[in-house]
Structure 1
């Protein structure tokens, strides 16, 4: 278990926080309900999506099924890659960042696989119930992903001279997302920022070159 402890703890804590928050949102808020934490800039806004991170979607039931199956395959691949990196003693920072990505991916696939079965439908007027008598709002692999973080930090309008979007409303940051999305994004960003440390290549030294010449 040496080398596995910290990644497993990080994965467990991330998943626990993600699912506790989603359960609370589903059971205590109606669809579209929101709480303003810092005026109109930091908002808890309950919404659901059928697709990918930050509200992106694939159309129809088949698109939803295909996405869920793709997520499961991706999780298996990431899990194997993480196991391989730990066993071969890759950079600790890289392992922890991949652990974040893995936890985020698992967090959202839990919604997709199980939420349609264990929860009733969330509506604009009613809160969801856990394990409702009449069954869930959908079938296995067709659940909706719960999102809640909304940070419309900048509000304004595009300049009128701008093609296509001129004069239209502009909001940054518009997508509503969840803790699992955040874990994935943070993991990817940290890997990009630390790639020079994580993926060092052996640079030939003068002594190594001399040795190669002598051997030849």
Structure 2
């Protein structure tokens, strides 16, 4: 009986890896297109609050450790790969929890999209620039967006789970 329960609790990774792959492909294709079309550090106004603005980030979120001297490239690459491995384990173990696995797949796809940039270019390509007046949010990309959406869905899933336990 324990073997049957264990089998039901785990699921296939295929749909979740498919979501992650879609995120990676969309992220990489947009980065290639933006890199070919736009000049570095030249804002291209789209709306009064949004620009395309090609920049390279050698650090992590908000350019954290961007000027650290180069070791951060490998540290963040290793962190992204390790996170993907842990996420695969969690998705395999909880494959029947759709929102949980969808959120993890988005996070993994975004993390690996940025890992690819670090390995290929030595930096992450960012190009989405939102601003209000003179204040600009740090530029980001689709991978960062997927990570953020995944994190929000993860919190919502946990809140839903806690409410269901009451």
Q: Alignment length, in residue pairs?
A: 157
- Select which of 31, 47, 53 maps to 2:40: 31
The structure whose Rg is larger is: 1
Matched, 1:182 2:161: no
Name 1:99's counterpart in structure 2: 105
Unpaired runs of 5+ residues, structure 1, are 116-142, 156-169, 204-216
- CA offset at residue 193 of structure 1? 2.1
Name 2:3's counterpart in structure 1: none
What aligned pairs does 1:1-216 form with structure 2 within 5 A after superposition?
A: 3-38=12-47, 40-61=48-69, 64-89=70-95, 91-115=97-121, 143-152=122-131, 154-155=132-133, 171=135, 173-198=136-161
Alpha-carbon displacement from aligned partner over 1:57-86 (angstroms, at most 9, x marks no partner): 34232xx32343343234224323333332
- CA offset at residue 23 of structure 1? 1.0
CA RMSD of superposed structures (Å): 2.5
The CA distance in 2 between the partners of 1:150 and 1:77, in whole Å, is 27
The CA distance in 2 between the partners of 1:181 and 1:92, in whole Å, is 21
Alignment CA distance shift 1:13-1:68 (3 Å): same
Greater Cα shift, 29-38 or 66-75: 66-75
Instruction: Between the two structures, name the one with larger relative contact order (CA 8 Å, sep ≥ 6).
Output: 2
Contact kept in structure 1, 2:13 and 2:91, CA below 8 Å: no
- CA offset at residue 144 of structure 1? 1.7
The CA distance in 2 between the partners of 1:48 and 1:70, in whole Å, is 15
Alignment CA distance shift 1:202-1:176 (3 Å): closer
Alignment CA distance shift 1:20-1:100 (3 Å): same
The CA distance in 2 between the partners of 1:114 and 1:195, in whole Å, is 35
| TM-score using structure 2 length | 0.80
| TM-score using structure 1 length | 0.63
